[in-house]
Amino acid sequence: MTSSSTLPAATIPQRLFAPCVAALRSALWAAAWLTTVATPAAPLAAAELGLTLPLQRTVYQTNERIDFTVRRQAEPGTLDVALESADGGRMAFALPATRGTEHFHVNAALLRPGTYTVVVTDGAATARTEIQVFSHLRRSNYRLINWGSAQKPEELLEQGEDGFGYNLYYGQLFRGKAGGPAHAALMRAGVDAVSVCTMSGAHQMDIRGECDWSDPYVTRGGTQRVAQQALIDRSFGNVPGVHFYDEPGLTWWKNPETGVMGPHDVPQQVRAFEATFDRKPPQSWKLDPSKPADVVAWREWAVWKLGFMDAAWKEAQFGVSSVRPDFLSLNQSQYGWTAFTDGYYFNVVRSLPIISGHGGYDDYGLGYFNPSYFLEMARGRDLARDCWYLPTWYGNTTDDDYRLEQNLSFQTGIEGMMSPPPLDPARNPSARKAIVECNRLMGRLGTIFTTMPATRPPVAMLYSLSDVIAAQTTDRSVNYAHAMPQGERLPFTYLAGKLIQRQFLPIVDEDVVDGTLAAHHKAVILTAIRYLDPTVTAALEDFAAHGGLVLLTGDCTVTIKGSVNLGVKPRLPDEESAAYKAIVAAKKWPDLTPFQTVAKHVQAAEPLAKAIAAQLDKAGIPPLFECDAAGISATRQAEGDIEYLFAVNATADPAATNRNASKPTAATIALPSRGKAIYDALKSGPAKAKDRYEFAKGEMRVFALTARPIGAVRVATPVVTRDLTQSTPIGLRFAATVLDDKGGLLCGSVPLRIRVLDPKGTVRYDLHRATKLGVLSLELPLAANDPAGDWSVVVTELLDNKEGTASFAYRPASTCGATVGLTRRGIMLGGEQANLFRFARAHHAATIVKGTADFHGPAADRLKKILEPWGVACTIVAAADVSKPRTLTEEEAKTWVGLTYTGSGVTKPGDGNPLTVVGLAVAGPVILLGAPEDNPLIKFLAEQSVLPYQPKAGEFPGAGRGSVAWQRDILGKGQESVTVIAHDAEGLSEAVGSFYEAVAGMDPLTPWILPTASSVSVP
């Protein structure tokens, strides 16, 4: 299939793709991909040369090290390596070859992206292979994510920013060796990749009700799975992290005392409470809400257990970060924001660097408003971290509905947007046009959200935990906020804000008490609240006493001094009708759809909207802009001199019975210009302070208001840096500013397009970024074989299309020996030495497991002796003694989770369980000696795909050569291991010595043996 980069943009949505029928891991695909890697030859003749890529792939990025293995027959001499590019360029290196197997490396950071023929010459013998190198930088730093279902290479090639517009792919294609071809296709497309739902999915692990997230036997098994994935993925340059789980929640169980199935008194949670407090928690069936002590005890328990979910992710993140400290740990966490009994509150993923979540889809509740409602409610008190959100799920979603739900979420100011597996545009044309449209718009404009904090509007709406816990104290069968009066009515308050062009920011009790409300907001709305903690009440009364506006819906029963009761109790218009009640009584829920459309919800929210608007107007809190169409949803994001006003057409169609029926509309919008310059941020040009606009279904318009007119873009003199010891050996550093019409700096976030052109006019970089506080500062890699001459940097601001340019001269050096080098001793993945160094300091005892070869014994004795001075006492055992399953106790077997999926009741006490479930019969830190052929524990590691290089006798690591690799969580829960690999005594001696060097912290003067000569020829 033709690469998407060659297709006109307008043709992409019309592409037709095969239906979704293939399995996620296609053996045929993997086989086809592996044939592109230079394969091992038979035993070499005197004039033959074997050339392989031990990572078993030919596609790389500019942030990677490319490894090669050469099997040679010549005497010690010179190994000549040439990298020949398609444009006629050539880089040549002479390496001192002394052994029959040599491992050399190429630093891809010094290569210009392109296709290279690698030619290796050793005397009269020559071998060659082809590699491709792609940039690791993405066009936009706004995350455009496909939680995809595509699996074929041609489908993945269409995913990138020149195709469907994505720059990150969530998928289940990256497990084990099957991940190689998927990564190769996505690298070609310019897309990063994350393994999604790596632990499992559904509320409890492996869909086992007995597996609670408070149980270490469960959570540590989850950590095993994500640590394994991190080990698999750590050698791929396009992997930023690991995604854990979808829709997790604390479990329910049948209480033997009451016979009731519910979320209370779960044994693992009780065990954790007793471990913490050395006393039992309150028992739900004995709780007496009339006793103050019982009420206090239940609140303590209900609040305390809210820490379980984040604790589980903290445990899992520890495993991932131990493998790669720079990896992101991700989790779907926002759909359950009302499920406080199941562990959901603002802290549910507090320890993770990114909030990755999803709705609240459009098949219930507020319909197409539901996704953005869930997003904003779930982000309560957690606005500082980046948020990536999936609004839509269903495969029959239309272009109009997709656009609407994406835009309603995007306008809240988050840092990434997602599409779902059923809508993967490579397989489903349903919303393909809108997906491409949204990705391109958001990739261009969404960069502003990466450089400015979230903007808090004047009006807040309270979600009170103390209210829902109080309700549960009275009735333990009530477990979800959405089933209580507050949760049932909050959607109407949210929708009321939409109808009057106000944005109501959800806050929680803690925001009221700690001063966040007073610091950021002028008004707060309370909805159907029956109880508040006294500290919350006191803080609200203080807020009112100091001029804050406290509004209560008519169904609130709490008393707040200084508050205003709106007197409105929102209800669906037909909620009290006989027809509605009859359907509810018969539990024919689908029949309720005509009574619960978005239009019906709008009708229900209108009286509340009018009442709120009257009070806000009276208090001097205006709408974000004046608008004569209630269906236009408004939000504002601002910092410094620049503010953005977003207007999304979410007009419901009252004539339709379809839940999500919307319609086009026309609206006159009057912006609060206050003397500011106004720009159309989507069309890149001036806009009027007041104008009439035609909106298609779901269409979004964005207006930028700047304190002063945009005058110019200035690009500072670019600087070329060269430090071949750094991760960016050759860098281009420059800054750009957006100035006003008087030459002053416009402080704020401005979307930019940045192009770097080489002397031939070829675009080296074409990026979308944004200024931060008015300034862009950027460093981009250059290559040792980039062309010489005068280059230019062109920066265009995308609000008014003003452009600034700066030029610089670049002269590549005639030699660059840092590009290629030889491994000195045992081959390791880059950065592995740090893991080995830490291993010897974190552990004071270890078990050395030797294989069956005669030379393993002396090597084990040597290793035991040389580690002793470092405080590591070793015990030596034979692999045969421990290559059996760990023995489980009866208690462990009940909820044990291991590396692979296991159903309820499958794991048994004893030693008869699979190794992938229970691990090996060796405890604590382990050092393995040998190879898969003679040590079954190393074979087990190889089968789990956690060895970066696949050992094979006669091929890798090669005659007389060794390799060292570190792991964790594979032999057993929390266990670290070091694998010292070789197929002969000489190789094992080298590997043991390399392990010792790393333990001792001995680093060579240069990471590789440098070439004796090198040259760079650029056409």
Q: Can you give the pLDDT at residue 29? A: 37
Question: What is the band of 41 on the pLDDT scale with cuts at 50, 70, 90?
Answer: very low
Q: Is residue 910 part of a domain?
A: no
Asked whether the beta carbons of 167 and 138 are under 8 A apart, the reply is yes
Q: How far is CA 998 from CA 160, 465, 832, 866, in A?
A: 40, 52, 9, 12
The pLDDT score that the predictor gives to residue 99 is 96
Strands 845-850 and 926-930: parallel
Q: What DSSP string runs through 759-780?
A: TTS-EEEEEEEE-BTTEEEEEE
Question: Are the beta carbons of 103 and 823 closer than 8 angstroms?
Answer: yes
CA-CA distance, 557 to 110, in Å (whole number)? Answer: 68
Whether residue 498 is contained in a domain is answered as yes
Write the CB contacts of 69 (distance below 8 Å, at least 6 apart in sequence). Answer: 50, 51, 52, 53, 54, 101, 102, 103, 955, 956, 957, 958
Please check whether residue 976 lies inside any domain of the structure.
Answer: yes
987 phi-psi bin (left φ>0, alpha ψ -120 to 50, beta other): alpha
Nearest to 439 by CA among 148, 768, 155, 165: 165
Joined together, the tokens standing for residue 508 give 């929680």
Q: What are the tens digits of pLDDT across the range 799-849?
A: 999 999 999 999 999 999 999 999 999 999 999 999 999 999 999 999 999
Q: Give just the sign of the alpha carbon dihedral 533, 539, 544, 548.
A: negative
pLDDT exceeds 60 at position 392: yes
- Rounded CA-CA distance 672/626 in Å is 8
Tokens linked to 787: 């062309």
Q: Please, which residues have CB within 8 angstroms of residue 840's CB and are 6 or more apart in sequence?
A: 867, 870, 871, 872, 999
Which pLDDT does position 43 carry in this prediction? 60
429: exposed, middle or buried (Cβ count in 10 Å: 0-12, 13-18, 19+) = middle
DSSP 346-372: TTTTTTSSEEEEE---TTSTTGGGHHH
Q: Which amino acid is at 556?
A: C
- Cβ neighbors of 141 (< 8 A, separation 6 or more) are 447, 450, 768, 769
Q: Say yes or no to pLDDT of 770 above 70.
A: yes
Q: Give the span between the Cα atoms of 177 and 1002, in whole angstroms.
A: 33
Residue 985 maps to a domain? yes
Please say whether the beta carbons of 113 and 807 come within 8 A.
no
765 lies in some domain? no
Q: Which of 862, 846, 813 is nearest to 989 (CA)?
A: 862
Residue 764 has pLDDT above 50, yes or no: yes
- List 59's β-bridge partners, or say none: 132
CA distance 400 to 398: 5
CA atoms within 13 A on the CB side of 23: 7
Question: Is the confidence at residue 979, as pLDDT, over 70?
Answer: yes
First CA to last CA across the chain, in angstroms?
Answer: 31
Q: Is residue 37 predicted with pLDDT exceeding 60? A: no
Parent domain of 866: 825-883+920-1000
- Pull the structure tokens for residue 12: 């992409």
What whole-number distance in Å separates Cα of residue 524 and Cα of residue 173?
A: 46
Average pLDDT of the residues in 110-134: 98
Give pLDDT, residue 30: 39
Does a structural domain hold residue 120?
no
Nearest residue to 829 via CA among 366, 477, 374, 323: 323
Question: Could you count the other beta carbons within 10 Å of the beta carbon of residue 934?
Answer: 17
* Cα 876 to chain centroid, rounded: 42
Tokens of residue 306, six digits: 């809210």
Residue whose pair of structure tokens reads 């789980």 in the numeric block: 245
Tens digit of pLDDT for each residue in 512-536? Answer: 999 999 999 999 999 999 999 999 9
**Which two tokens mark 80?**
């000549």
- Please state which of the ranges 141-150, 178-187, 777-786 shows the lowest mean pLDDT: 178-187
- Asked whether the predicted pLDDT for residue 9 surpasses 60, the reply is no
Distance CA 844, CA 472 (A): 50
Provide the whole-model pTM.
Answer: 0.94
Q: How far apart are CA 250 and CA 1014, in angstroms?
A: 61
What pLDDT digit, counting tens, does each position of 708-739 carry? 999 999 999 999 999 999 999 999 999 999 99
* Residue pair 948/941 in contact by the 8 Å Cβ criterion: no
Tokens (6 digits) for 185: 């296709």
Residue 531: which CATH number?
A: 3.40.50
Element (H, E) at 699: none
- 198: helix, coil or strand? coil
| pLDDT value at residue 45 | 57
**pLDDT for the residue numbered 177:** 61
Beta bridge partners of 777: 735
Confidence (pLDDT) at 179: 77
Cβ-proximal residues to 705 (8 Å cutoff; 6+ apart), any chain: 642, 643, 644, 645, 671, 672, 673, 676, 677, 678, 679
* Average pLDDT estimate for 474-480: 97
The answer to whether 768 and 142 are in contact (CB under 8 A) is yes
Token reading at 453: 């904090």
Q: Which two tokens stand for residue 250?
A: 């604390």
pLDDT at position 175: 78
If one counts the domains in the chain, the total is 2
Spatial strand order of the sheet with 700-706 comes to: 632-639, 642-649, 700-706, 677-680, 685-686
1014 phi and psi angles, rounded to 5 deg: -155, 155
Alpha-carbon distances of 158 from 154, 251, 390, 454, rounded to whole Å: 7, 40, 20, 33
Give the least confident one: 14-28, 31-45, 587-601, 612-626: 14-28
Determine, yes or no, domain membership for 927: yes
Quote the CA–CA distance of 494 and 490 in Å, as a whole number: 6
Mean pLDDT estimate for the chain? 95
CATH number of the structural domain spanning residue 976: 3.30.379.10
Burial profile 389-426: b = 16 or more Cβ within 10 angstroms, e = fewer: bbbbbebebebbbbbbbbbbbbbbbbbbbbbbbbbbbb
- pLDDT tens digits, one per residue of 634-656: 999 999 999 999 999 999 999 99
What is the C-alpha separation between 32 and 603, in angstroms, rounded? 58
Specify the 3-state DSSP secondary structure of 504. Answer: strand
Within-domain flag for 693? no
